[in-house]
């Protein structure tokens, strides 16, 4: 009976190196696979994975902030000021029944 080959487990750094080499396009996928000792299909899959993930790098929340987010702290501080004034008024009024010290 023949012995089964164990699968090679490549670290992420190795996969990235091979995939980036494939992205460069200097060598063919077959040459890259032969040079790094991996199957050309595998090198092509790593290249595609890098291309797919690269799109996500630039999907972040970039660009100008919305006006609503910029005005939120102003609105909250304004609300706090109004509430403080109302509390002071209630403390001073004789018939309010509120005896806060």
pTM above 0.85, yes or no: no
Domain presence at residue 96: yes
The set of residues, in sequence order, having a beta carbon less than 8 Å from that of 97 and lying 6+ positions away, is none
Residues 49 and 75 in one domain: no
Domain presence at residue 1: no
Rounded to whole angstroms, the Cα distance separating 90 from 31 reads: 82
Domain presence at residue 5: no
Per the structure, how many domains does the chain have? 2
How many CA atoms are closer than 13 Å to the CA of 30, on its beta-carbon side?
0
Which range is most confident: 25-39, 62-76, 82-96?
Answer: 25-39
Residues 16 and 50 in one domain: yes
Question: Would you say residue 60 has pLDDT above 90?
Answer: no
Residues 50 and 71 in one domain: no
Domain presence at residue 37: yes
Provide the domain limits for residue 48: 12-54
100 vs 72, more confident:
72
R_g (Cα) of the chain, nearest Å:
32
Domain presence at residue 61: no
Question: Would you say residue 2 has pLDDT above 70?
Answer: no
Confidence of residue 4 (pLDDT cuts 50, 70, 90): confident
């Amino acid at each position: 009976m023949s012995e089964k080959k164990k699968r090679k487990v490549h670290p992420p750094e190795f996969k990235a190196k091979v995939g980036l080499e494939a992205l460069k396009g200097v060598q063919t996928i077959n040459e890259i696979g032969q040079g790094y000792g991996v199957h050309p299909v595998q090198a092509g899959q790593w290249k595609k994975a890098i291309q797919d993930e690269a799109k996500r790098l630039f999907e972040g929340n970039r660009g100008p902030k919305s006006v609503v987010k910029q005005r939120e702290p102003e609105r909250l501080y304004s609300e706090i000021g109004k509430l403080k004034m109302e509390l002071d008024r209630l403390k001073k009024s004789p018939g309010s029944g509120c005896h806060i010290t």
